[in-house]
Amino acid sequence: MLFNRLALLLITILISSVGTTATLYKWVDADGNITYQDSPPPDESQVLK
């Protein structure tokens, strides 16, 4: 019984953590400010890697 609960908890944690990865963008705008976001930068900015 305890094993079943632990297995269910482990499976739930593993499934919920799959969707947490995201692409992170870093860029410099026209004023020289460095910005980090999960959406793509505007066209007038310089993308940093």
Q: What is the helix (H) or strand (E) element at residue 3, kind and residue range?
A: helix 2-18
pLDDT in tens, 21-45: 677 888 888 888 888 888 887 776 5
Q: Where are the beta strands (DSSP E) in the chain?
A: 25-28, 34-37, 46-47
Domain housing 31: 23-49
CA-to-CA distance for 41 and 46, rounded, in angstroms?
8
- Split into its structural domains, the chain has a count of 1
Res 6: pLDDT: 92
Does residue 14 form part of some domain?
no
Does residue 41 form part of some domain?
yes
Question: pLDDT confidence of 46, banded at 50, 70, 90?
Answer: low
Spatial contact of 27 and 43, defined as CB atoms under 8 Å apart: no
Does residue 31 form part of some domain?
yes
Using the predicted structure, report yes or no on whether residue 5 has a pLDDT greater than 80.
Answer: yes
